[in-house]
Amino acid sequence: MDNGQHTHIVKYSTFVWILIILLVLTFSSVAITQLDLGVYTVTGALLFASVKSVIVLMYFMHLKFDKKFYAIMMAGIALLLTSVIIVTFLDYLYR
Amino acid sequence: MIETHTQDTTPSFLEYKGRFKGLMGWIFSTDHKRIGLLYLYSMLVFFSVAAILGLLMKLELIAPGKTIMGAQTYNSFFTLHGITMIFLIVVPGLPAVFGNFFLPIMIGAKDVAFPKLNLVSWWIYIIGAFIALSAQFMGDGAPDTGWTFYAPYSFKTGTNMLPAVLGAFILGFSSIVTGINFIVTMHRMRAPGMNWMKMPLFPWALYGTSWIQVLATPIVGVTLLMVVLERTLQIGFFDPALGGDPILYQHLFWIYSHPAVYIMILPAMGVISEIIPTFARKTIFGYTAIVVSTLAIAFVGYFVWGHHMFTSGMSGVALYTFSILTFLVAIPSAIKIFNWVATLHKASIDLQTPFLWALCFLFVFMIGGLSGMVLGALSANVHLHDTAFVVAHFHYIVFGGTGYAFFGALHYWYPKMFGRMYDKSWANIGLAMFFTGFNTLYLPMFYLGMTGMPRRYYDYVDKFHGPNIISSLGAILMIVGLIVIITNLVRSARYGAPAVKDPWKGKTLEWTVASPPSLENFDEIPTVTDHPYKYE
C-alpha cells in the first residue's frame, strides 16, 4: 500500500566510505588543535565537526532521502545554533 | 463554527477502569489527562516545600543578624528554593500540566502523538527530582551555589553538588521529550479543518515553547555534565587554575537558561490569551500578531542571554550587542500586552475568578517587564546587578508571570479537569490576599536593591530593616492567601457543585466535550470550520 512514504536502501559501500570520511575528519579536528592558528583553531575544529554532523544527518538519519521540509527545518536549526556561536564569539574575539 | 460529537454518557477519564487500579492506574496510565494531573500533584508537593523555604528565608530577613538560621543554612535554602522552583515547577509547569491535559483536546485529538513517551517523561521528571533533592539530605551538606551552579565555586564547594547537578541534567530529558511530543502532536494530529491559523493561542504558545525546550535544553545538559566532569576528573573547562574559563560556564548556562525564561513565560502568555477573550466575550484582537510575536519571542529570546553577565568581564562589543538585543525582545512582549488590552476595549466583561487572575497577571507582568528594561540598560545594570532589585524583577516576571497564569489556568480549566465548580467567593478572597501579599513582599525589594542591598545574604545593615519588615509581612500574607486558594480547590474537588460542559461560555474545543472529558476526549474527531475565538 502506498502510504506516501518511500524506503531507500543505502549500499554498504556507501556506509564504509562515510565511516572512513568520519574517521578522517575526527583525526583532522584533533590535529588542527596542534597548530597555532589563533581563533581559527576553534573555527576549524567546529567546521570539521559541522561537516561530520551533516554527513550523519544526511545518510545515517536519512535526511537526504526524506521530504525537503525536514531538511529545511534542520537547516533552520543549524542557522540558529551558528548564530548563537557567533554571538558568543563577540565576547571572546573582542575581550 | 465547530462540528463535534461529544459523549456525556461514557465514563470520564477519572472513572475509567483500565488495566491497573488505584495508584497504579495513575502512575502507569498513558492518558494525557492523567499524566497532566500527575504533574500537577507532583508540582503542588514540590511547590509547597519550596514556598515554605522562601517564607523561612523572608523570616530570617525580618531583622538584621541571625534570626532563625545561620549563613550556611540560608545559602542552602536559597539554593534548594531556586532549584526546586525553577527545574521542578516553573520550567515544566504550564506545558506539563495544562499542555498535557488540554493540548490534544484543544486541537481535536484523542491523545498526544507518543502517549508512552509522555508517561516516560513524567517518570524521568520524578527520578530527576528525587536525585536533585537527595543532594539536600546526604553527603557533605546541602548545595550552596544558588540554582545557577556558577563555576568555579560549583566545583570547589565542599557541599554535595553532584546529585543536584545530575538531577537537573536528568530533568532536562523530561523537558526535551515533552517538547518533541508536543511538536509532533501539533504537526500531525490537528483536527480536520484546523489549519495553523485556526489553532488556538495556547497550543501556539506551547509550539514556540516546545522548540525552545528541544533546542536549548541539550546545551544546559552538556554544560552540567561538564561541571560533573570538572569536579570528578579535573579537566579544566571552567577552572582558570586548569586553563579553563569561568565566563564560558556563564555563557553556556545562560544560552539555555535565558530561553528557559521564555519556556516559563510563553505558555503563561498562551493561558492569558485564552482567558481574556472568553471573559471579554469578544474575539481576541490581533490573533496573527499574537502568533507572530510568540514565535518572535521564542527566536529573539535565544540571543539575549548575555544580559545576565553584564558585570562578568565580557567584551564591550558583547555588552552592547546583548543590551540592544534585550531591548528588542521587549517589542513582541509589548505587542501581546497591547493586544490583550485592546481585546478588553468595549468588551462585555464577566468578572470571574480566572479573569481576575489574568488582570493581576497584566499588572504584575508589566512591573516585571519594565523593571527588566532597567536591568537591560548597561549603565543601570552595573549598579543593580546582584542586588535585591534583580530578585524583585525576577519574581515579578517568573512568579508574577508564570505563577499568576498557572493559578489563572487552574481556576479557568478546573471545572473541565475535575468536573466540579469551586467556591468563587473563597477563590476571590484567596486571590486578593495573595495579590496584596505578593506586592507587599516584592515591591520593597526594588527599593532595597536600588539603595544597595545585595541578594543572597542572610544579614544586612540597619538601614535596610524597615523595608525588610514590610517584605517579610507580605510573604506571610501571600502564603496565607495560597493556603486559602489551594484549600478551596482541594475541597471543591469533592464537595463542589457539578460543572456543566461550558461554564464560562468558551469557544475553543475543550468546552465542547464533557466535564471531565472521557478517556478519548471525542467520540468522533471534530471538524473545525472557523476561527477559535469567534464571539461576534
**Residue A23 distance to chain B (closest CA, Å):** 23
**Domain presence at residue B191:** yes
Q: What is the CATH number of the domain that holds B157?
A: 1.20.210.10
d(CA B81, CA B317): 35
**Domain presence at residue B285:** yes
pLDDT digits (tens, 9 = 90+) for B316-339: 999 999 999 999 988 999 999 999
Q: What is the pLDDT of residue B19?
A: 82
- Half-sphere exposure of residue B155: CA atoms within 13 angstroms, side-chain side: 25
Residue in this structure with the C-alpha cell 475535575, named with its chain if needed: B418
Chain A interface residues (partner B, CB cutoff 8 A)? 77, 80-81, 83-84, 87-88, 90-95
The interface residues of chain B toward chain A in range 277-306, judged by CB-CB distance below 8 A, are: 299, 302-303, 306
d(CA B290, CA B273): 9
**Domain presence at residue B101:** yes
Contact between chains at B318 and A94 (C-beta distance less than 8 A): yes
B9 pLDDT tier (thresholds 50, 70, 90):
low
Supply A84's cell numbers. 548563537
Residue in this structure with the C-alpha cell 579544566, named with its chain if needed: B236
d(CA A29, CA A32): 5
Considering only CA atoms, which of B342, B276, B203, B348 is closest in space to residue B506?
A: B276
d(CA B132, CA B137): 10
Residues present in chain A in total = 95
Contacts of B319 (CB under 8 A, 6+ apart): B306, B310, B378
**Domain presence at residue B534:** no
Contacts of B110 (CB under 8 A, 6+ apart): B104, B520, B521, B522, B525
Q: What is the pLDDT of residue B281?
A: 94
Contacts of B316 (CB under 8 A, 6+ apart): A94
Number of domains present in the structure of chain B: 1
pTM assigned to the model: 0.92
Considering only CA atoms, which of B411, B148, B394 is closest in space to residue B264?
A: B394
* pLDDT higher than threshold 50 for residue A2: no
Judging contacts by C-beta atoms under 8 Å, the chain B residues touching residue A85 are: none
Query: Which candidate from A80, A90, A95 shows the least CB-CB separation from B321?
Result: A90
The residue range of the domain holding B210 is 2-528
The percentage of residues in chain B with a pLDDT greater than 70, rounded to a whole number, is 98
Query: Mean per-residue pLDDT for B465-481?
Result: 97
pLDDT digits (tens, 9 = 90+) for B134-154: 888 877 788 999 999 988 888
**Residue A20 distance to chain B (closest CA, Å):** 27
**Domain presence at residue B486:** yes
pLDDT digits (tens, 9 = 90+) for B109-131: 999 999 999 999 999 999 999 99
Query: Which candidate from B247, B303, B313 shows the least CB-CB separation from A87?
Result: B303
Contacts 24+ apart (CB under 8 A), B318-323: B318/A87, B318/A90, B318/A91, B318/A94, B318/A95, B319/B378, B320/B378, B321/A87, B321/A90, B323/B376, B323/B377, B323/B378
Q: What is the pLDDT of residue B18?
A: 79
User: Which ranges of B61-99 does DSSP label H, i.e. alpha helix?
Assistant: 71-83, 93-94
Considering only CA atoms, which of B293, B486, B321, B309 is closest in space to residue B390?
A: B309
| B215 at interface of A, judged by CB pairs closer than 8 A | yes
d(CA B343, CA A29): 56
Contact between chains at B306 and A91 (C-beta distance less than 8 A): yes
Judging contacts by C-beta atoms under 8 Å, the chain B residues touching residue A92 are: 315
Query: Mean per-residue pLDDT for B416-421?
Result: 96
Contact between chains at A90 and B315 (C-beta distance less than 8 A): yes
Considering only CA atoms, which of B250, B215, B217, B183 is closest in space to residue B92?
A: B217
CA A87 from centre of chain: 20
| B412 in Cβ contact with B506 (< 8 Å) | no
Judging contacts by C-beta atoms under 8 Å, the chain B residues touching residue A94 are: 315-318
Judged on CB neighbours under 10 Å (0-12, 13-18, 19+), B379 is exposed
* pLDDT higher than threshold 60 for residue B7: no
Q: What would the DSSP string read from start to end of A15-68? A: HHHHHHHHHHHHHHHHHGGGS--THHHHHHHHHHHHHHHHHIIIIIT-GGGS-H
pLDDT digits (tens, 9 = 90+) for B185-221: 999 999 999 999 999 999 999 999 999 999 999 999 8
Q: How many CB pairs under 8 A join A and B?
A: 38
d(CA B448, CA B468): 8
pLDDT digits (tens, 9 = 90+) for B263-315: 999 999 999 999 999 999 999 999 999 999 999 999 999 899 999 999 999 99
| B30 in Cβ contact with B112 (< 8 Å) | no
**Domain presence at residue B536:** no
Considering only CA atoms, which of B403, B408, B289 is closest in space to residue B342?
A: B289
CA B147 from centre of chain: 15
Q: What is the pLDDT of residue B8?
A: 58
Query: Mean per-residue pLDDT for B371-387?
Result: 94
**Domain presence at residue B289:** yes
